[in-house]
Structure 1
């Protein structure tokens, strides 16, 4: 049960980052470095989700 809550929390953070990335890219002069950092963090979260759902 606790693992389910943890994974759901990770999924929410992942979705939130996706929204933030889209918002940043919609700006005329978006911050490419910020987008890159958010994409890296999103990938890290995805790997963590996969790690916890494989068991």
Structure 2
């Protein structure tokens, strides 16, 4: 898998996590632990994208 393919895959995962985060936030009594886990995973995906971009240049 090329760097660009990996970045595109991670961007799709990040968008999915964003949708999950929004869904959890708008439901009655959102679970703080679930919100924290989703946010953490989003940050990890974002950091991996940044690492790939940095090493590709």
User: What TM-score results when the alignment is normalised by the length of structure 1?
Assistant: 0.92
Deviations 1:6-55 (A, max 9, x none): 11000100111011000100011111100100000000000000000122
Indicate the RMSD between aligned Cα atoms, in angstroms.
1.1
Pairs aligned (count) = 55
Where in structure 1 are there 5+ consecutive unaligned residues? none
Where in structure 2 are there 5+ consecutive unaligned residues? none
